[in-house]
Amino acid sequence: MIDVLVVDDDFMVARINHGFVERIRGFHVVGTAHTGEQAISAVTELRPDLVLLDLYLPDVFGLKVITRLRAAGHDCDILVISAAREVEAVRGAARHGVVDYLLKPFDFDDLRIRLERYAAHHGGPRAATVSGQADVDRVLTRAPSRVPAAALPKGMSAETAELVERALRATDGTLSAAECAARVGISRVSARRYLEHLYTVGRAKVSLRYGTTGRPERRYRWFT
Protein backbone atom coordinates (compact mmCIF):
# COMPACT_ATOMS: atom_id res chain seq x y z
CA MET A 1 0.00 0.00 0.00
CA ILE A 2 1.35 3.44 -0.98
CA ASP A 3 0.62 6.13 1.61
CA VAL A 4 -0.33 9.51 0.15
CA LEU A 5 -0.51 13.02 1.60
CA VAL A 6 -2.81 15.42 -0.28
CA VAL A 7 -1.77 19.09 -0.14
CA ASP A 8 -4.06 21.78 -1.57
CA ASP A 9 -5.18 25.14 -0.21
CA ASP A 10 -8.71 24.63 -1.57
CA PHE A 11 -10.61 22.38 0.87
CA MET A 12 -13.00 21.17 -1.84
CA VAL A 13 -10.20 20.32 -4.28
CA ALA A 14 -8.34 18.49 -1.51
CA ARG A 15 -11.47 16.48 -0.78
CA ILE A 16 -11.91 15.60 -4.46
CA ASN A 17 -8.27 14.56 -4.81
CA HIS A 18 -8.60 12.49 -1.63
CA GLY A 19 -11.55 10.65 -3.18
CA PHE A 20 -9.73 10.11 -6.47
CA VAL A 21 -6.71 8.56 -4.74
CA GLU A 22 -8.83 6.23 -2.61
CA ARG A 23 -10.44 4.86 -5.80
CA ILE A 24 -7.08 3.65 -7.13
CA ARG A 25 -5.95 0.20 -6.06
CA GLY A 26 -2.82 0.18 -3.94
CA PHE A 27 -3.08 3.79 -2.70
CA HIS A 28 -4.27 5.12 0.65
CA VAL A 29 -4.57 8.75 1.81
CA VAL A 30 -3.01 9.17 5.24
CA GLY A 31 -3.75 12.87 5.58
CA THR A 32 -4.44 16.25 3.99
CA ALA A 33 -2.84 19.67 4.40
CA HIS A 34 -3.86 23.12 3.19
CA THR A 35 -0.71 25.20 3.75
CA GLY A 36 3.00 24.69 3.30
CA GLU A 37 3.64 24.62 7.02
CA GLN A 38 0.90 22.03 7.51
CA ALA A 39 2.39 19.93 4.71
CA ILE A 40 5.85 19.92 6.30
CA SER A 41 4.42 19.00 9.70
CA ALA A 42 2.24 16.27 8.17
CA VAL A 43 5.18 14.71 6.34
CA THR A 44 7.16 14.67 9.58
CA GLU A 45 4.31 13.03 11.48
CA LEU A 46 2.80 10.70 8.86
CA ARG A 47 5.83 9.74 6.73
CA PRO A 48 3.94 9.33 3.44
CA ASP A 49 5.47 7.65 0.42
CA LEU A 50 4.03 10.22 -1.97
CA VAL A 51 2.87 13.83 -1.63
CA LEU A 52 0.36 15.32 -4.07
CA LEU A 53 1.54 18.92 -3.86
CA ASP A 54 -0.16 22.09 -5.03
CA LEU A 55 2.29 24.92 -5.77
CA TYR A 56 0.06 27.88 -5.00
CA LEU A 57 -0.16 27.61 -1.23
CA PRO A 58 -1.10 30.61 0.93
CA ASP A 59 2.09 30.74 2.98
CA VAL A 60 4.92 28.95 1.15
CA PHE A 61 5.35 28.32 -2.58
CA GLY A 62 5.27 24.59 -3.27
CA LEU A 63 8.83 24.33 -4.58
CA LYS A 64 10.07 25.89 -1.35
CA VAL A 65 8.15 23.22 0.55
CA ILE A 66 10.12 20.56 -1.35
CA THR A 67 13.40 22.30 -0.52
CA ARG A 68 12.52 22.35 3.18
CA LEU A 69 11.43 18.72 3.16
CA ARG A 70 14.73 17.64 1.62
CA ALA A 71 16.71 19.80 4.06
CA ALA A 72 14.88 18.03 6.90
CA GLY A 73 15.88 14.65 5.50
CA HIS A 74 12.50 13.57 4.11
CA ASP A 75 12.79 11.49 0.92
CA CYS A 76 9.09 11.14 0.07
CA ASP A 77 8.25 11.39 -3.61
CA ILE A 78 6.43 14.48 -4.90
CA LEU A 79 3.77 14.66 -7.59
CA VAL A 80 2.89 18.27 -8.38
CA ILE A 81 -0.78 19.05 -9.04
CA SER A 82 -1.08 22.72 -9.90
CA ALA A 83 -2.55 25.39 -12.12
CA ALA A 84 0.95 26.86 -12.50
CA ARG A 85 1.69 26.96 -16.24
CA GLU A 86 4.82 29.09 -16.10
CA VAL A 87 7.75 27.35 -17.76
CA GLU A 88 9.99 28.27 -14.84
CA ALA A 89 7.62 26.51 -12.44
CA VAL A 90 7.74 23.36 -14.56
CA ARG A 91 11.52 23.53 -14.90
CA GLY A 92 11.87 24.19 -11.20
CA ALA A 93 9.73 21.17 -10.40
CA ALA A 94 11.87 19.02 -12.69
CA ARG A 95 15.05 20.28 -10.99
CA HIS A 96 13.52 19.33 -7.63
CA GLY A 97 13.07 15.77 -8.86
CA VAL A 98 9.27 15.53 -8.88
CA VAL A 99 7.90 12.26 -10.26
CA ASP A 100 5.23 13.99 -12.34
CA TYR A 101 3.51 17.32 -12.98
CA LEU A 102 -0.26 17.35 -13.50
CA LEU A 103 -2.00 20.54 -14.62
CA LYS A 104 -5.33 21.64 -13.19
CA PRO A 105 -8.06 21.12 -14.16
CA PHE A 106 -7.86 17.36 -14.63
CA ASP A 107 -10.14 14.36 -14.36
CA PHE A 108 -9.90 11.06 -12.51
CA ASP A 109 -8.25 9.19 -15.39
CA ASP A 110 -5.52 11.83 -15.69
CA LEU A 111 -4.52 11.18 -12.09
CA ARG A 112 -5.09 7.43 -12.25
CA ILE A 113 -2.68 7.00 -15.18
CA ARG A 114 0.05 8.86 -13.33
CA LEU A 115 -0.42 7.06 -10.04
CA GLU A 116 -0.49 3.65 -11.69
CA ARG A 117 2.70 4.54 -13.54
CA TYR A 118 4.23 5.67 -10.27
CA ALA A 119 3.17 2.45 -8.54
CA ALA A 120 4.89 0.41 -11.25
CA HIS A 121 8.22 2.03 -10.30
CA HIS A 122 7.65 2.31 -6.55
CA GLY A 123 9.21 0.03 -4.02
CA GLY A 124 12.67 -0.58 -5.41
CA PRO A 125 15.51 -2.16 -3.43
CA ARG A 126 15.46 -1.26 0.27
CA ALA A 127 18.91 -2.61 1.11
CA ALA A 128 21.83 -0.27 1.76
CA THR A 129 23.62 -1.55 -1.34
CA VAL A 130 22.49 -2.78 -4.75
CA SER A 131 23.27 -6.29 -5.94
CA GLY A 132 23.65 -5.47 -9.61
CA GLN A 133 22.72 -3.30 -12.57
CA ALA A 134 19.08 -4.43 -12.45
CA ASP A 135 18.73 -2.95 -8.96
CA VAL A 136 20.40 0.28 -10.12
CA ASP A 137 17.92 0.54 -12.98
CA ARG A 138 14.96 0.00 -10.64
CA VAL A 139 16.19 2.72 -8.29
CA LEU A 140 16.71 5.21 -11.11
CA THR A 141 13.34 4.51 -12.71
CA ARG A 142 11.47 4.99 -9.45
CA ALA A 143 11.33 8.68 -10.32
CA PRO A 144 11.25 8.86 -14.13
CA SER A 145 13.45 11.54 -15.64
CA ARG A 146 11.17 12.37 -18.51
CA VAL A 147 10.03 15.94 -19.07
CA PRO A 148 6.66 16.68 -17.41
CA ALA A 149 3.67 16.82 -19.76
CA ALA A 150 3.36 20.56 -19.27
CA ALA A 151 6.84 21.05 -20.81
CA LEU A 152 6.22 19.00 -23.96
CA PRO A 153 5.52 20.78 -27.26
CA LYS A 154 1.87 21.31 -28.10
CA GLY A 155 0.18 18.22 -29.45
CA MET A 156 2.57 15.74 -27.80
CA SER A 157 1.42 13.47 -24.98
CA ALA A 158 3.46 12.43 -21.94
CA GLU A 159 2.30 8.84 -22.31
CA THR A 160 3.53 8.51 -25.91
CA ALA A 161 6.74 10.35 -25.06
CA GLU A 162 7.44 7.81 -22.33
CA LEU A 163 6.79 4.88 -24.69
CA VAL A 164 9.20 6.32 -27.26
CA GLU A 165 11.79 6.96 -24.55
CA ARG A 166 11.50 3.38 -23.29
CA ALA A 167 11.92 2.01 -26.80
CA LEU A 168 15.03 4.10 -27.33
CA ARG A 169 16.51 3.17 -23.95
CA ALA A 170 15.96 -0.53 -24.65
CA THR A 171 17.69 -0.42 -28.04
CA ASP A 172 21.14 -1.93 -28.31
CA GLY A 173 22.55 0.42 -30.90
CA THR A 174 20.54 2.93 -32.90
CA LEU A 175 16.89 3.21 -33.84
CA SER A 176 15.21 4.76 -36.86
CA ALA A 177 11.85 6.51 -36.78
CA ALA A 178 10.28 3.65 -38.75
CA GLU A 179 11.65 1.04 -36.33
CA CYS A 180 10.49 3.06 -33.34
CA ALA A 181 7.03 3.43 -34.86
CA ALA A 182 6.74 -0.35 -35.27
CA ARG A 183 7.78 -1.01 -31.67
CA VAL A 184 5.58 1.63 -30.08
CA GLY A 185 2.56 1.30 -32.37
CA ILE A 186 2.42 4.84 -33.74
CA SER A 187 3.00 6.38 -37.17
CA ARG A 188 6.50 6.96 -38.48
CA VAL A 189 5.84 10.71 -38.62
CA SER A 190 4.81 10.76 -34.96
CA ALA A 191 7.79 8.64 -33.93
CA ARG A 192 10.14 11.01 -35.80
CA ARG A 193 8.61 13.99 -33.99
CA TYR A 194 9.09 12.46 -30.53
CA LEU A 195 12.61 11.28 -31.33
CA GLU A 196 13.56 14.73 -32.62
CA HIS A 197 12.20 16.22 -29.40
CA LEU A 198 14.45 13.91 -27.35
CA TYR A 199 17.37 15.03 -29.53
CA THR A 200 16.45 18.71 -29.10
CA VAL A 201 16.38 18.48 -25.29
CA GLY A 202 19.71 16.65 -25.23
CA ARG A 203 18.51 13.16 -24.30
CA ALA A 204 19.21 11.45 -27.61
CA LYS A 205 22.05 11.45 -30.12
CA VAL A 206 21.57 11.44 -33.89
CA SER A 207 23.75 9.85 -36.54
CA LEU A 208 23.24 9.57 -40.28
CA ARG A 209 23.24 6.34 -42.27
CA TYR A 210 23.91 6.86 -45.97
CA GLY A 211 22.36 4.53 -48.54
CA THR A 212 22.95 4.25 -52.24
CA THR A 213 20.19 6.70 -53.16
CA GLY A 214 18.00 9.32 -51.52
CA ARG A 215 18.46 11.24 -48.31
CA PRO A 216 20.49 9.74 -45.43
CA GLU A 217 18.51 7.97 -42.71
CA ARG A 218 18.53 9.58 -39.27
CA ARG A 219 19.38 7.05 -36.53
CA TYR A 220 18.78 7.76 -32.82
CA ARG A 221 20.60 6.54 -29.73
CA TRP A 222 19.80 7.21 -26.06
CA PHE A 223 22.23 9.78 -24.65
CA THR A 224 24.30 8.05 -21.95
**Domain spans, the chain:** 1-125, 152-224
Q: pLDDT tens digit string along 190-219?
A: 999 999 988 877 788 899 888 766 778 899
CATH 2.70.150.10 corresponds to the domain 1-125: no
The set of residues, in sequence order, having a beta carbon less than 8 Å from that of 93 and lying 6+ positions away, is 55, 63, 80, 101, 148
Strands (E), the chain: 2-7, 27-33, 50-53, 77-82, 100-103, 204-209, 217-222
Q: Do domains 1-125 and 152-224 have the same CATH topology?
A: no
Q: Identify the weakest region by mean pLDDT among 10-14, 60-64, 96-100.
A: 96-100
CATH 1.10.10.10 corresponds to the domain 152-224: yes
User: How crowded is residue 39: how many other Cβ atoms within 10 Å of its Cβ?
Assistant: 28
Tell me the CA distances in angstroms from 211 to 124, 214, 216, 217, 218, one per residue in order.
44, 7, 6, 8, 11
- The pLDDT, as a whole number, for residue 172 is 87
The answer to whether residue 90 scores a pLDDT higher than 50 is: yes
What is the pTM (predicted TM-score) of this model?
Answer: 0.60
Q: Identify the weakest region by mean pLDDT among 59-73, 83-97, 148-162, 207-221.
A: 148-162
Q: pLDDT tens digit string along 41-59?
A: 999 999 999 999 999 999 9
The 3-state DSSP class for residue 205 equals strand
The answer to whether residue 142 scores a pLDDT higher than 60 is: no
- The pLDDT, as a whole number, for residue 130 is 57
The answer to whether residue 180 scores a pLDDT higher than 90 is: yes
Q: Identify the weakest region by mean pLDDT among 3-12, 69-78, 100-109.
A: 100-109
